[in-house]
Amino acid sequence: MLKLIEIALQNGKVLKMNKKIEKIFKKDLSQLDNIYLVYGAEEYLLDKFENKFKEKYVDKTIEDFNLSYIRDEDNIYRNIVNKGSTLPVMSKKRFIIVKVGNIFKNSIPNFEVFEKFLNNIPESTVILILVNEDLSKNKKKEIIKRQGKVINYSPPRFQDINKWIKFQFKNRGKKIGYRGIRLLEKMFNNNLQQLDSEIDKICTYIDEKNKVEVSDIKAIMSKDRRLKDNTIFEFLDAISKKEKNKSVYYFYQLIENGEVPQIIFAMITRRVRLMLITKDLKNQGINHKKIANKLGEHPYPIKKIYGYVDNYSESELENMLDKFLKADVKLKTGVEKIENSIQNAILSL
C-alpha cells in the first residue's frame, strides 16, 4: 500500500512550483503513484496542474490508447474501475483523468466498488481526480490517502497576490512596479484566471518594452472594461439576493459586452462558495473583517456577502452550488450550450 503525502499549497506558495509538487513532477513515469486527488476552489490552478501532468507523463503519440477522460457523473465509480482495469498499449502506464465535480458526495452510489478496486489497482494504472471544490472536510478522501496523494491546491491569499503578479510578469520576461501591481490587485482581487488573461493582454500590448507602466495598464482597461466590471458586480449581487430576473438580465449584458461565459461561470461558483464559508463563520459569531482576513479576501466584498447570507440557509447555499456544478458538467460534456446552462441554473434557484 502506497504511503500518502497530503500537500497544501497556500499563502502564496504557488508563486513558484511548490517544492513538494516539484518532487511529484521530478518522478519518472515508473515512479508515479496509482492515484492523485487534486482539489481546490481555483479552477485555473487545477487546469495548470492537469496540463503539466499530461505534458510530463502522457506520450502524445499513443495518447488515444492510454488516456481516458471521465466527465459524466452517471455510474462514475464503475466507469473508473472499468477504464482503470484496462492495460496500457505500448506504454508502462494508462491514465484516467476524472473531471466530474465532487464525486465524493454521499448521493453518488457504488463508492464501495471504487474502494475495493483501490486495494487491487493495477500497477500500470494512474488515476488523476480533479475536483473544483474544497474537500478538506470530506471523509472519503481519507481512503484516497491510503493509496496515493491528495493535493489541496489553493490560490495565494490576498496579501500575497502581489508576489504572484510580479512572478507572472517575470515569467513572461517583463518587469512591473509596485503601483502597477496594486492597480491589478485592486481590479481583480485574487481571481487568477482573470489576472492571467489580463497579464497576457498587457504583455502583448507593450510588445518589446521591458517594463510595464501604470499608463500601459490603464490604456488597456478601457471604458468598456470598467462598464463590464460594474455589470459583473451587479450580476453577482443580484444572484446573492435571489433576484432571478435581474440576474438573467445582467448575465446577457455581460455576454453582449464580450465577457467569456466560462469566466462568468467561475465567478458565480466562487461567489457561492464564499457565501457558504461566510455563512458558516458568521454562525460562529465571527465578524466580516475577521472573516476577510481569515479567507485572505478584500474586506469590501465580504462585508456585502456577510449581509446577503442571512437570506439563505446552509442547505440552500449547498443546493445552489450543486446546481451550478451540475450545470458545469452539462456544458463541459456538451449536453447544453454554456449560455443555456448558466441561465437554467439561475432560473432554478
Give the model confidence (pLDDT) of 141-188 as tens digits: 888 888 888 888 877 776 678 888 998 999 999 999 999 998 888 777
Q: What is the rounded distance in angstroms from the CA atom of residue 78 to the CA atom of residue 110?
A: 7
Residue 1 amino acid letter: M
Same fold, 6-153 and 158-221: no
Mean pLDDT of the chain: 83
Output DSSP code: residue 149. Answer: E
Distance of alpha carbon 343 from alpha carbon 324, whole angstroms:
10
- Res 4: pLDDT: 33
Cβ proximity of 257 and 228 under 8 Å:
yes
Cα separation, 167 vs 155, in Å, equals 14
Is a pLDDT exceeding 60 seen at residue 131? yes
- Residues 107 and 48: their CA atoms lie apart, in Å, by 29
User: Which DSSP symbol is given to 90?
Assistant: S
Which one is the CATH code of 225-347: 1.20.272.10, 3.10.580.10, 3.30.70.270, 1.50.10.20? 1.20.272.10
- Domain map of the chain by residue range? 6-153, 158-221, 225-347
Q: Is the pLDDT of residue 11 over 50?
A: no
SS3 for 125? strand
- Alpha carbon 303 to its chain centroid, in Å, reads 23
Task: Quickly count helices (H) and strands (E) in the chain.
Answer: 17, 8
| Integer Cα distance of 14 and 160 in angstroms | 10
The cell numbers describing 314, all together, are 446552509
Cell of 129: 481526480
pTM over 0.85: no
Question: How many Å apart are CA 159 and CA 151, to the nearest integer?
Answer: 22
How do 211-212 and 67-70 pair as beta strands? unpaired
The cell for 275 is 457565501
CATH of 158-221, one of 2.130.10.10, 3.30.9.10, 1.10.3720.10, 1.10.8.60: 1.10.8.60
Q: What is the pLDDT, as a whole number, of residue 246?
A: 85
Q: What is the pLDDT of residue 326?
A: 81
Q: Does residue 51 register a pLDDT over 50?
A: yes
Q: How confident is the model at residue 29 (pLDDT cuts 50, 70, 90)?
A: very high
Q: What is the distance between the alpha carbons of residues 5 and 240, in angstroms, rounded to a whole number? A: 38
Rounded to an integer, what distance in angstroms lies between the CA atom of residue 15 and that of residue 17?
7
- The grid cell for 166 is 510580479
Exposure of 111 by Cβ count < 10 A (0-12 exposed, 13-18 middle, 19+ buried)?
Answer: middle
Fill in the DSSP letter of residue 7.
E
Distance CA 164, CA 161 (A): 5
User: Model confidence at 15, in pLDDT bands (50, 70, 90)?
Assistant: very low
Sequence-distant (6+) residues with CB within 8 A of 138 are: 102, 104
For domain 6-153, which architecture applies? 3-Layer(aba) Sandwich (3.40)
Give the three cell numbers for residue 146. 491510503
The residue-averaged pLDDT of 309-338 equals 80
